[in-house]
Amino acid sequence: MSATSSTTAQAIERVFREEYGRLIASLVRRFGDIDIAEEAAGEALVAALEKWPQQYPDSGVPPNPGAWLTTTAGNRAIDRLRREKLRDDKHRQAVDMYDDTPHESLGVFESNEDDRLRLMFTCCHPALAPEARIALTLRLLGGLTVEEIAQAFLVPETTMGQRITRAKKKIAAAKIPYRVPAPEDLPARVATVLAVLFLVFNEGYLASGDGEPVRSELTGEAIRLARILHGLMPGEPEVTGLLALLLLTEARREARVRHGELVRLDDQDRGGWDRALITEGHALVRECLAINRPGRYQLLAAINAVHTDAPTAETTDWSQVVALYDQLLTVDPSPIVALNRAVAIAELDGPEVALAQVDRLVETAPVLSSYHALHATRADLLRRLGRSTDAREAYDAALAVCDNTAERAYLTRRRGELV
């Protein structure tokens, strides 16, 4: 493949990933079948790879690639249904799944515009296992590969593939409806939706593999859907907390990578942070605190608020950060939260105390052995303690399991600086 055709193929793949969630949601609404939607979308991608380089040699993509993919995928789905003589049945099934009557409480939600929110609630139906809900939504709305989702869950790819397949079969067998729940059913359904949005955002913010340090289409989509959900449930503190968390994290995005390399929070140019997003995020955090029912996303947002409130890294209130992590551990006692707390402890009580906590995590949570942040944290703490040989080994362990190009560049440079 020539350099030009390779670049075009990459541009087409990027557009496809950006449009994937919208495309799948539209096809599910029209045809009432997830498998048909995925197959038609895949065929549209193949057609794009064949036709776009010839039809659009300058840019490699049409002026409105989303519309092209939607039309092509729709035609391919119709062709398949005609061949299989299933069109009438599938259309009836689509009508059964699709409810375009908006509930009075939806406000900003446009019944014919946002198929993705409907699909998200379908994927997050309580009839599905919790792990399957999240995985399926990441696959269908986030456009993540099975391999990427497996990495996010720290499970084998085959296990994740089986989980997603079972979930799709369950939706078809149980005839799970394709709609936003009624207002009285929203609270019971929202926890999984929040978890999905958080994972979609993180997958974009901590993008791996494809050469881009951030996949802005995923972070932007997560924020957009979080805003809609906040409009649906303005009095739900965890919804408010998640939106605040995403905004405060997104506010630092432009300063997070410089010259292709990750920039640590302490070293970021705070003048490059988006002050409008920070102001909005802080207001949402205050809104949560007024309700005084702290949950996972509210506490994470509050931690980010402390960081974004400090004019310099040196003025960060680390005692408050540690106190918030202590609260977070009571509602989310996960090893990743404990690891992040140890990072804050290093600033408050010193690297030796923090290293002891991290090493205990290595013993008690072996699942973290494939989590590059654990090894990167150990490397930094060992470096600060002057243990260069041990730090070098920890950097090697982090690099062995890190796919993000910007983080790899940062870890490689830090390792090379060791004496």
Is residue 71 domain-shared with residue 124, that is, in the same domain?
no
Confidence of residue 359 (pLDDT cuts 50, 70, 90): very high
Is residue 123 domain-shared with residue 62, that is, in the same domain?
no
Is residue 2 domain-shared with residue 54, that is, in the same domain?
yes
Structural domain of 389: 358-419
Count of alpha carbons within 13 Å of 119, Cβ hemisphere only?
32
Q: Given the structure tokens 């929040």, which residue do they identify?
A: 194
Is residue 81 domain-shared with residue 151, that is, in the same domain?
no
Which burial class, exposed, middle or buried, applies to 51 when counting CB atoms under 10 A from its CB (0-12, 13-18, 19+)? middle
Summarize pLDDT for 43-80 with one digit per residue, the tens: 998 898 888 888 887 777 888 888 899 999 999 998 88
Rounded-to-integer distance, Cα 341 and Cα 318, Å: 10
Enter the tokens of residue 14.
């990027």
Q: Given the structure tokens 């005692």, which residue do they identify?
A: 319
User: Does the structure show a pLDDT above 70 at 103?
Assistant: no
Is residue 122 domain-shared with residue 170, that is, in the same domain?
yes
Percent of the chain with pLDDT over 90: 42
User: Does the structure show a pLDDT above 50 at 102?
Assistant: no
Confidence of residue 213 (pLDDT cuts 50, 70, 90): low
Is residue 3 domain-shared with residue 81, that is, in the same domain?
yes
Q: Given 171, 201, 231, which residue is the final one in a domain?
A: 201
What pLDDT was estimated at residue 308?
96
Answer yes or no: is 280 within a domain: no
Summarize pLDDT for 2-26 with one digit per residue, the tens: 444 667 777 777 788 778 888 898 8
What pLDDT was estimated at residue 132?
86
Residue 236, Cα to own-chain centre: how many angstroms? 21
Q: Tell me, what CATH number does 169's domain have?
A: 1.10.10
Enter the tokens of residue 144.
């993540």
This prediction has a pTM of 0.73
Answer yes or no: is 77 within a domain: yes
Mean pLDDT of 233-238: 87
- The DSSP secondary-structure symbol of 316 reads -
Answer yes or no: is 387 within a domain: yes
Is residue 124 domain-shared with residue 80, that is, in the same domain?
no
Mean pLDDT of 328-345: 95
Answer yes or no: is 308 within a domain: no
Q: Which of 154, 153, 163 is nearest to 132 (CA)?
A: 163
Tell me if 134 sits within 8 A of 203, measured CB to CB: no
Answer yes or no: is 287 within a domain: no
Mean pLDDT score of the chain, rounded to an integer?
A: 85
Confidence of residue 243 (pLDDT cuts 50, 70, 90): very high
Q: How many domains does the chain have?
A: 3
Enter the tokens of residue 121.
């609630």
Q: Which long-range contacts (CB under 8 A, 24 or more apart) does 336-342 make?
A: 336/368, 336/371, 336/373, 338/365, 339/368, 339/373, 339/374, 339/377, 342/377
Confidence of residue 91 (pLDDT cuts 50, 70, 90): low
What pLDDT was estimated at residue 118?
83
Rounded-to-integer distance, Cα 254 and Cα 276, Å: 14
Is residue 83 domain-shared with residue 5, that is, in the same domain?
yes
